[in-house]
Structure 1
Amino acid sequence: MWSKLFPQHQLCRSSLSQYFSKQKHWIGRGTRGGVRKQRPINVHITAPPTFQQQTFKPKQTVNEFNLIKIYSLPVTQETSSLLKCLYLNAQSCRNKTLEIHDLILESNADVVFITETWLKAFGDEPLIKEILPAGFDILSIPRRSGPGGGTAIIYKSCVQVSSKTPASKVSTFSSFEFCEILFNTLSGSLLCICVYRPPTSKKNPSSKETFNKEFSDFLDSKYEKKNIFVLGDFNLHFENTNDCSVNNFRKTIDEHGLHQHISKPTHKYHHTLDLVMTRGNYSLHDIEIKDVCISDHFIISFVTNVSKPKCDEQSVTSRNISQINTIDFKNKLSSILSKDPPRNIDSLNSALSKLLEDAAPMRRRTVKPRPPAPWLTPQVKAAKQERRKAERQWKKSGLTVHRDIYRLKHQFVCNLIKDLKRKFVNEKIVESQSSKEIFNICNDLLGKNKLKSLPNNFPPDKIPDVLNDFFVEKVDKIRQELDAKKSEPYYHEFKGDVLNCFEPVTEQVVRNIILDSSKTSCDLDPLPSNLFIECLDLLLPYITNCINDSLESGSVPCCFKEAIVRPLLKKNDLDENLLKNYRPVSNLPFLSKVLEKVVLIQIEFHLNKNRLKEIYQSAYKKKHSTETALLKVHSDLLEATDSGQVSILALLDLSAAFDT
């Protein structure tokens, strides 16, 4: 039955039987027979074929003795680092001062461009002081009308500035705001312009076409500048190539040779609103667009091929006064004064200067700038590490929850810095020993300290002569312009005592004047004030003799007429390269001030005794000041108004009153 159903099966079975019958050994799948009967594998060992290697001698066509070997020179790396820039749309710096301060330090930027500062022209000095790290300066151009807007450029003091346009001379455009600075670099001059274009609205009706025309005219005025950086918030969707206004703007910047470097979104809504454009020999690299949660805009950081001067160290000269042994110093001084008593003030100053040089010689040393913020503790450092960790996690995942965690860490760091700074300032105020120290702390917080700046458009070794000639010529010019017409002198009958000469003073009077005077020192003083007070008992007889000699002769010693003149800007926002913006401030020797007070005491005694003082004078008069003068004028105006009289107020300001 099976064979009928499967005939091929019977045929296959017979074929297999014939095959196995022809084999010498039966091949089974078991292993018991294989254990007793071994069938070893024959191994044939052979040697690899050998090839005879042939050597080919090339035909010599070049005489190597005629060739000169050129050794490569080692690549020298530039010692000066490159200028790093940072751009930020702050959307109001008023409540983000410490955040911007910390951002500048964290990014290690040399130049920072800020738009939408919302700063005012006056009264925002404390905010600016809080924004600026140590060793930085700022050019702030606020909006002239209304709140908001404003541009600023923050830069390191070591970066040389050729010129910066003050707010009073900035050209006004209806469609955009800007500020500009011309830097002097090792590679040449570089004009940096920070631009902010407000979006079109009811308050800003200027259209995009108006902006395009005005911006083109603005660039035309900068045609002579070869190297230019233009960056800022233009409020144009630069990524939209279908927008006619954007295409016109692209055409404008192309016509003026500007190259635009930003190709990624700079706003949280994925628009490219902030641009960086360059023209000239300077290039940009390492461009980074980053969200630091300060505003809706991202920050832009980049490095230029502009070399910057090194400003990490400063060379200063000083004396180590603290190492002086006061007892030994006084013994040596007593020995010198007894052997060779000084005949005049010049010999006394010479002896004191030589003794000080032997005790504490002048040494030159290199110092680093002070820490950017003394209240930054290890606690802040640890909090910043946690913030960076959260930032890396957010950048890696891109999740909103991780961004919220980063924002919380960022806000925690800002609040921690505020609390530590508040605690630091409170401790300084508590530890202060005088009201002067408290005023200095307050002036530093409020940004009222005078800036020590000098013109940078002259060689450093020529600045003293240039300023001295300017101040001298200014006084001479004023005197020449005064009316030379002689007027009749005014004589007033006087029946009191006449001051014909000055009376000599005693040592006790001189001692009281010295002890009551402020302990300030001048570079012309032979001894610092604290060491001078320690040696006062030894020096007092000689100082009194010198003062009495001056009173008797009616002349002032020549060394008392010398002064250290420091030029100071009249206002912090004035152009530092204009000489007319400076006023000279003289610092006289300490003993010169003592002589002035001795003379003042005798003159005041004479004026009070004979009732010669002006009744309405408030300046240089005890128990009087500008407040008493204002109260008197205000009272007179009120009385005249109550009486129905007409009042006219005439104010007179004397130019260079103290110098003429």
Structure 2
Amino acid sequence: MSNNLDILAITESWLTGDHRDDHAIADLTSTLPDYNLHHIPRKNRAGGGVCVCLRKSFKINMSTIKEYDSFQYIDLAITSRCQTPLRLIVLYRPQKTECKQNTAPIFFREFPSFFEEIATTRNNLLITGDFNFHVNDPADREASLFLDLIDSAGLKQFVTVPTHIKGNTLDLIITRSTDNFVSNVSATNFLPSDHAAVLCSLDIVRPETTKMEIRIRKLRDIDLNTFRNDILQSSLYTSPSPDLDKLIAQYENVLLKLKDKHAPLITRTVKCRPNAPWYNEQLRDLKQKLRRLERRWLSSKLEIDKQCFKELSNQYHEMINQAKLDYHKMQFENCNSKQLFQQVEKLSKPKTSKVLPSEIPNDPLVERFSSFFAEKIQRIKANLEESPPSHLSVQTSYSCTSTLSELAMVSEESVKEIIMKSPSSSCTLDPIPTWLLKNV
């Protein structure tokens, strides 16, 4: 968020492809509502996993993923405003296989065939990720073989700064030698990870800000006295229908018209923005101080500056975790039971859009839902009739002498009292919200 990124590539996501991912994905989608997450999990083994988080206004096409023994990857074609797509490949090579074998020899056999498949693409090609080769060390044989391999394939590598806590360059940005759309490559070390974040600029068209249409009514701004007077002057009071069904229709029509009059429907277009209400001024000031210490350490290369930077970095991330904890704790303390369930669902489940079949009009779809449940009840009844339960004998130790022979009439005041004491929950089918109904 602070770097205003359009694309974020992540290796070692630890996503597994099952329900254990829900909390992490829910946290991301709640904090970054204008971003989509695409990921390839690492199943049946801890660690690993690659993912890309990018703005919703990008058009994305994910290519079919093949299985390789030495590395994981995700392959996305990213298009922005009708420009030539960017083919982004995020790759992670673990140092060891499941059998504790070194993956480097296998990688040198697999990567050339992998590159042959993607080399023919006409798109801008960008390969990035954690390759786990110490390309900064000329004496490292595996790193030298890797650099020779990408050079023979017509590729070039941009990262020249340390990307690991031990001073090695493991996280790379690779393009074709003939391409020239990557610039401003840098790395920042203030993350809690043992790897740095590698930043760069891409010479492609930036996507438009994600926008969405919302429809609102300013119900809270309604003048209640005027609303009451309009109800009293309406046909609902001056000429109510004697027929119950017609009276219900009259009630709904009158209130709907009055709602449109006093709080007309307004359509607005809003921009989706990141949402981190727990991020406060204290964290922002500490982060600026952290950046200054990082620049001092990178400039001086002194161990004392490195230690000061690491200590403040740990303090910063502890404060972030505490700020999030305090914020969510306050949210839970100040909410009712309904809001509590909403908060828990927001934090534990990713957002999903409710999708209905697009090829079926609404009216036939409603009939299909109705028929489904009606037929389901009939099937249950038929199954019960086919297998009647065995005779049951219930022993009771008491007898009831009271009988219910008639229902007593209730007064309007009694009905009103029950309505006013009931919860103010509403349904979209209600002509006006229940809280407004009670007030008028």
TM range (shorter): 0.7 to 0.9
Aligned-pair CA distance for 1:175: 0.8
Aligned AA for 2:85? S
Question: What corresponds to 2:130 in structure 1?
Answer: 233
SS at match of 2:20: coil
Aligned AA for 1:442? V
Question: What corresponds to 1:212 in structure 2?
Answer: 108
Aligned-pair CA distance for 1:440: 1.7
Question: What corresponds to 2:352 in structure 1?
Answer: 451
Aligned-pair CA distance for 1:220: 3.6
Flag the 1:392–1:282 CA change in 2: closer, same or farther, 3 A: closer
Q: Distance in 1 between matches of 2:162 and 2:273?
A: 38
Q: CA offsets per residue over residues 97-135 of structure 1, 9 Å max, x none?
A: xxxxxxxx2222122111123343332432444456332
Flag the 1:330–1:150 CA change in 2: closer, same or farther, 3 A: same
Question: What corresponds to 2:309 in structure 1?
Answer: 406
Preserved CA contact (<8 Å) 2:155 2:174: yes
Aligned residues: 396
Preserved CA contact (<8 Å) 1:151 1:194: yes
2:170 corresponds, among 273, 296, 301, to: 273
Question: What corresponds to 1:372 in structure 2?
Answer: 275
Q: Distance in 2 between matches of 1:224 and 1:394?
A: 43
Flag the 1:293–1:362 CA change in 2: closer, same or farther, 3 A: closer
TM-score by length of 1: 0.52
Question: What corresponds to 1:531 in structure 2?
Answer: 436
The residue correspondences of 1:149-160 to structure 2 (distance < 5 A) are: 149-160=48-59
Aligned-pair CA distance for 1:466: 4.3
Aligned AA for 1:322? R
The residue correspondences of 1:183-222 to structure 2 (distance < 5 A) are: 183-186=78-81, 187-200=83-96, 203-222=99-118
Flag the 1:334–1:233 CA change in 2: closer, same or farther, 3 A: same
2:225 corresponds, among 327, 338, 353, to: 327
Q: Distance in 1 between matches of 2:340 and 2:23?
A: 16
Preserved CA contact (<8 Å) 2:182 2:203: yes
Preserved CA contact (<8 Å) 1:394 1:403: yes
Aligned-pair CA distance for 1:273: 2.1
Q: Distance in 2 between matches of 1:511 and 1:160?
A: 56
Q: Distance in 2 between matches of 1:331 and 1:215?
A: 77
Aligned-pair CA distance for 1:414: 1.7
1:173 corresponds, among 68, 79, 90, to: 68
Q: CA offsets per residue over residues 377-396 of structure 1, 9 Å max, x none?
A: 22222222322332233233
Q: Distance in 1 between matches of 2:42 and 2:386?
A: 57
Aligned-pair CA distance for 1:511: 9.4
Flag the 1:289–1:382 CA change in 2: closer, same or farther, 3 A: closer
Flag the 1:518–1:361 CA change in 2: closer, same or farther, 3 A: closer
Question: What corresponds to 1:646 in structure 2?
Answer: none
Aligned-pair CA distance for 1:249: 4.0
Q: CA offsets per residue over residues 60-95 of structure 1, 9 Å max, x none?
A: xxxxxxxxxxxxxxxxxxxxxxxxxxxxxxxxxxxx
Aligned-pair CA distance for 1:301: 0.4
Q: Distance in 1 between matches of 2:383 and 2:319?
A: 72
Identity over the aligned pairs, expressed in percent? 26
Preserved CA contact (<8 Å) 1:236 1:246: yes
Aligned-pair CA distance for 1:195: 0.8
Preserved CA contact (<8 Å) 1:287 1:303: yes
Preserved CA contact (<8 Å) 1:175 1:204: no
Preserved CA contact (<8 Å) 1:282 1:304: no
Aligned-pair CA distance for 1:246: 4.8
Preserved CA contact (<8 Å) 1:229 1:278: yes
Flag the 1:402–1:239 CA change in 2: closer, same or farther, 3 A: closer
Q: Distance in 1 between matches of 2:16 and 2:188?
A: 28
Q: Distance in 2 between matches of 1:270 and 1:319?
A: 57
Q: Distance in 2 between matches of 1:408 and 1:467?
A: 60
Q: Distance in 1 between matches of 2:132 and 2:97?
A: 12
Q: Distance in 1 between matches of 2:306 and 2:263?
A: 59
Preserved CA contact (<8 Å) 1:390 1:406: yes
> Larger RCO: Structure 1 or Structure 2 (Cα < 8 Å, ≥ 6 residues apart)?
2
Q: Does 1:520 align with 2:416?
A: no
What residue ranges of structure 2 are gaps of 5+ in the alignment? 376-381, 389-408
Q: Does 1:421 align with 2:324?
A: yes
1:299 corresponds, among 197, 200, 208, to: 197
1:112 corresponds, among 8, 13, 38, to: 8
Flag the 1:174–1:358 CA change in 2: closer, same or farther, 3 A: same
Q: Distance in 1 between matches of 2:219 and 2:63?
A: 41
Q: Distance in 2 between matches of 1:216 and 1:409?
A: 43
Preserved CA contact (<8 Å) 2:161 2:186: no
Flag the 1:162–1:142 CA change in 2: closer, same or farther, 3 A: closer
TM-score by length of 2: 0.75
Preserved CA contact (<8 Å) 2:26 2:350: no
SS at match of 1:451: coil
Preserved CA contact (<8 Å) 2:297 2:309: yes
SS at match of 1:123: helix
Q: Distance in 1 between matches of 2:359 and 2:420?
A: 36
Q: Distance in 2 between matches of 1:155 and 1:453?
A: 22
Preserved CA contact (<8 Å) 1:198 1:204: no
What residue ranges of structure 1 are gaps of 5+ in the alignment? 1-104, 455-462, 494-504, 536-660
Q: Distance in 2 between matches of 1:340 and 1:202?
A: 81
Aligned AA for 2:343? I
Question: What corresponds to 2:400 in structure 1?
Answer: none
Q: CA offsets per residue over residues 381-434 of structure 1, 9 Å max, x none?
A: 2222322332233233221111211222222222222222222222222211x2
Question: What corresponds to 1:440 in structure 2?
Answer: 342
1:148 corresponds, among 47, 55, 59, to: 47
Flag the 1:272–1:375 CA change in 2: closer, same or farther, 3 A: closer
Aligned AA for 2:169? T
Aligned-pair CA distance for 1:352: 2.3
Aligned-pair CA distance for 1:275: 1.6
Aligned-pair CA distance for 1:376: 2.1
Flag the 1:466–1:431 CA change in 2: closer, same or farther, 3 A: same
Q: Distance in 1 between matches of 2:349 and 2:290?
A: 34
Q: Distance in 2 between matches of 1:344 and 1:214?
A: 76
SS at match of 1:361: coil
Aligned AA for 2:219? I
Preserved CA contact (<8 Å) 2:70 2:97: no
Q: Distance in 1 between matches of 2:204 and 2:280?
A: 34
Q: Distance in 2 between matches of 1:164 and 1:514?
A: 58
Preserved CA contact (<8 Å) 2:240 2:247: no
Q: Does 1:287 align with 2:185?
A: yes
Q: Distance in 2 between matches of 1:374 and 1:296?
A: 27
